[in-house]
Amino acid sequence: MGKEQKTNAMRILDREKISYKTIRYECGEFIDGLHTAQITGAPVGQSFKTLVLRGKTGQYYVFVIPVADEVDLKAAARAVGEKSVELLPVKEITAVTGYVRGGCSPLGMKKTFPAVLQKDAASFDTVYISGGRIGITIALAPDDLIRAAHAHYADVVRK
């Protein structure tokens, strides 16, 4: 059997000596986080998606929120000290992050952007995020994700 192909996200976790597990699944194209959780068997409530937003200043931000939730743009702007933020158009995701839609991990983007993890994640032992490629999910402790992504917790989902 060949050596496991590492993604940038996995390399960062390895370098930081952070324990994680990978879950691989068959998928040829984009599927949303809810379907990914169903395919992998990861609990939906502990499965998180990565969104990239642009602030009024032009700065990019990474928000990691539960797959079943929507980002609250006003709360997100407050969490990063911006007047307003907007979702990055899908056509710009690869150019800004180096990742494709559906495989965008909060770790290992082209540049490190300020990151926010939805505060509810702190209540779990394990969270599930994209592994940096369609077909790979990473399971790790939320505090380890905070450390690796240089992120902070905030309440940024629509209630």
Record the pTM. Answer: 0.92
pLDDT tens digits along 40-93: 878 889 999 999 999 999 999 999 999 999 999 999 999 999 999 999 999 999
Beta bridge partners of 65: 49
Q: How long, in residues, is the chain?
A: 159
Band of residue 8 on the pLDDT scale cut at 50, 70, 90 = very high
Q: What are phi and psi of 95, to 5 degrees?
A: -60, -40
Average pLDDT over residues 132-153: 94
pLDDT tens digits along 85-128: 999 999 999 999 999 888 899 999 999 999 999 999 999 999 99
CATH classification code of 23-154: 3.90.960.10
Secondary structure class of 73 (helix, strand, coil)? helix
Beta bridge partners of 137: 23, 130
Task: Inform me whether the pLDDT recorded for 2 exceeds 50.
Answer: no
Average pLDDT over residues 19-38: 76
Tokens coding 156: 């940024």
